[in-house]
Amino acid sequence: MTMKTFAGGLAAAALSATLLLSGCGGSEEESAADAPAAETAAPEAEPETGATSAESGESTEDHAESDDADSSGRPSEDEVATGLKTLLESTGTELPGEADQIISCMAGSLVASDMSDEGLQKIADGQAPTDAADTEAFSAALSDTSCYTGG
């Protein structure tokens, strides 16, 4: 009974964190319309960074390569679990020791889900996903009771 109560509380806290941190889906869609303008501004900044990195030498190139490795691909289960724990703790949820197993299971479910790499990276960074499809996948993974029941 205690584990069931804990699991329910953990799921509620995670879902609350999703809703609290992701904000309104309508504003996400509206801001998506502004995205092309933001994307246009980003490439202008990149050539300046490229010129700076050319002046700096190899160490900057090495840093750029590590940035590419960090920003591309799917985060690992460990990265997602760490971020998920941070996300839950940011809501004021106290997590007992048993939470690590549940969080690890949920992280595995999230990595195996059809959630985008960007959405998983947000979770790995301790933030709730903001994309509607990612938020739905996040909520579904947190609602899956198999992580709480061990099945």
Per-residue pLDDT of the chain (151 residues; tens, 9 = 90+): 355 555 555 555 555 555 444 454 444 444 444 444 444 444 444 444 444 434 444 443 343 333 333 456 899 999 999 999 999 888 887 777 788 898 999 999 999 999 999 999 999 999 999 999 999 999 988 888 888 876 6
For the chain, state the CA radius of gyration.
18
Domain ranges of the chain: 2-33+75-149
* Residue bearing tokens 């329910």: 8
Start-to-end Cα distance in the chain: 16
Is the distance from CB of 107 to CB of 81 less than 8 angstroms? yes
Is the distance from CB of 139 to CB of 15 less than 8 angstroms? yes
